[in-house]
Structure 1
């Protein structure tokens, strides 16, 4: 195509474009300036050591490069295929991952293999690593904790009644070929919420009221009830400087209220009415007061949804757990960058 007269050709055009991107404000440059990716890579290597490459074989990409790629993938809700394409196409992505002058960039198989190699332990190491950097910047848990859960949909399965029966028994239909089995999520479960059926998984979190940072997470299938004591206990954060514990009406129980009182916590869990025993006006006012604070956790779930974290592309609970943990880690990472860029200091 013949260049238009208004278009000027320049051998240094790429450099001009990079400077223009920086002047407009590249969010990846902001992330890089505030997040210690080398430290995150060390945490991943600690729980999932790099494999030794065979003699004469191509050495694996640096862990830090792959961690940066995983962050890109979750921040922008990319599939493995889209991740490979964007790494080839976008200069800002290549620069962020240290691949600007690289002959080869990790392809979709490399990304998939790395995720499988580090597994849930690697994702948890990244979550803990980001949490540690938040604490290093002084953002400790303050103001009380808010506990809640959200459903994370998975691709719906179209199985016959007989197939569903076998899956519930932990078996696999004999006529399913290996290729079909790989596309069938036999771990995800169904549940009902507000009269609607949902298929997938559940992410339970504890968020501090002051900073809206995810402090603890727990992952499970969708059918797990919010009131499950193990989930509540696993996300309960004892490090918060406030003794207030907020939750919605799906969490109250006599045992829980007794435990909170015995251990010196202030119960800010909404009351739930019963069929033959409606809430009093005083209880309704209390619920309304709690709701104003508890709503802060919905801001967190909203941010996760904007990152695409409320829809899974994966098959099976192990990969679902990995994806949900990575989304939580990337949310906290963005939160730290936001604090640093806006000049908000820990109190």
Structure 2
């Protein structure tokens, strides 16, 4: 016989705490009011009458939930209505008002237009420093392709897009659904349409320190200097074969950087045994950055459902900030 209780909700919340609700751990270590204040400063709300908007802190929390679990706006609306841990995290346990899918989209667009992704990422970075997690041990560099839905265009239309022109035959509805900024690239014989995210993570804590988002066709090596973290306590820099550039390596070494980039074999010139051993030593160090991308993939960061470089930049930067918050919880729990 099923036992009923007037205190069933409280009993379930207590059991969630015993099982280890990561959202409650995040609640203990993250200052969401400070994040909301940063968002309001960079992307202030516009009062237009009608129903008052939901508090910025609630919406920042919702954005973190979306990034943490890789949820679309429709899925987010359903989960907030259905899921106890989400309601508790958002402070909506006993509320009759729940944000809908349009509310989530509107808030994200507000931040995207204001280019608030970098400000939010830096606000998270400051909280990491307050907890004592400053960048240590050197840099681990890597990049990953992020696909978006493929575009069906003719050869003539593709040529116009490359010239940054809009085909005359496209209706307004078509223009809204066509991503004219994403590009094609090939990696290991596989074609990908979308964008690329380059990151620098510190070796000590595996926290993302710098992020750069570009179209997929831009080469990894173009972004290495953009994601260097000059605040890191070490000048060591580890990267794979995609970052080979002799002139840049000499320039960085002249500035005091200790550059550890894997050697790349050329056609007809295989690597020597010494070079192979060096590549293995570097691989053992930079393998830790693969853990970062594996976690981002678990959070739904290996695919985007958006159109345009600005939206891709905001969503991937926000995903990196959320990864850092998740990593902070793991570090605090283990310490």
Whether TM-score is above 0.5 comes out as yes
One of 58, 80, 84 as aligned partner of 1:65: 58
The match for 1:28 among 2, 10, 23 is: 23
Matched, 1:336 2:328: yes
* Distance in 1 between residues matched to 2:327 and 2:142, nearest whole Å: 19
State the Cα distance separating 1:276 from its structure 2 match.
Answer: 4.5
Q: How much does 1:299 deviate?
A: 0.7
Aligned position for 1:3: none
CA distance in 2, matches of 1:46, 1:306: 31
Structure 1 unmatched ranges of 5 or more: 1-5
Q: Which moved more, 1:95-104 or 1:116-125?
A: 116-125
Q: Distance in 2 between matches of 1:178 and 1:29?
A: 45
For residues 219-273 of structure 1, the C-alpha deviation after alignment (integer angstroms, 9 at most, x for no partner) is 0000000121xx1121011111112111111112222111122111111111222
Asked if 2 retains the 8 angstrom alpha-carbon contact of 1:206 and 1:235, the reply is yes
Q: Report deviation, 1:298.
A: 0.7
- Count residues with an aligned counterpart: 334
Q: 1:10 aligns with which of 5, 10, 31?
A: 5
What SS class does the counterpart of residue 192 from structure 1 fall into? strand
* Alpha-carbon distance between aligned partners in 2 of 1:33 and 1:137, rounded to the nearest angstrom: 12
Equivalent residue, structure 1, for 2:33: 38
Query: Gaps spanning 5+ residues in structure 2: where?
Result: none
2:80 is the counterpart of 1:87:
yes
From 109, 112, 126, the counterpart of 2:102: 109
Aligned to 1:138: 132
Is 1:298 matched up with 2:290?
yes
1:147 alignment partner in structure 2: 141
CA RMSD of aligned residues (A): 1.3
The TM-score with structure 2 as length reference comes to 0.96
TM-score, structure 1 length as denominator?
A: 0.93
CA contact (8 A) 1:142 1:240 kept: yes
* Contact 1:257–1:267 (Cα < 8 Å) also in 2: yes
- Counterpart of 1:282? 274
Q: Is the 8 A contact 1:53 1:60 kept in 2?
A: no
Q: State the distance in 2 between where 1:25 and 1:246 align.
A: 35
